Amino acid sequence: DELVVTYSRSSGAGGQHVNTTSSKVDIRFHIKSATWLNDDVKQKLLEMYKNKINKDGYLIVKSEKTRSQLYNQADAMASLREMIWRATIPARSAPSEETLHQIRARSEIK
């Protein structure tokens, strides 16, 4: 399974409501089995979020912001989607010699 969603009791304030509902959402995304991601994006995800990946290779995203299970699931999915999106952005390359020369020339004029 690429995506595993689990629900559990949320911590913190909420009175009696927090004791009766499982509103906390944990989403586990198995990076290596995602066939729709190319290898470069998978590798970048593994590097960028290594502190959120368990030993089985699952990227773990949690949300317990609201008292609603549905809103927390939407929040966790949005976080996961943003993580994947950030991994698809190519790294900025170092400026070329020509660009550095132009920057130096501009700073000398001032």
Closest CA to 79 of 92, 64, 57: 64
Please count the structural domains in the chain.
1
Count of CB atoms within 10 A of residue 96's CB?
Answer: 9
**Per-residue model confidence as pLDDT tens digits over 32-75:** 999 999 999 999 999 999 999 999 999 999 999 988 999 999 99
CATH code at 39?
A: 3.30.160.20
User: What residues make up the domain containing 10?
Assistant: 3-109
What pTM does this model have? 0.77
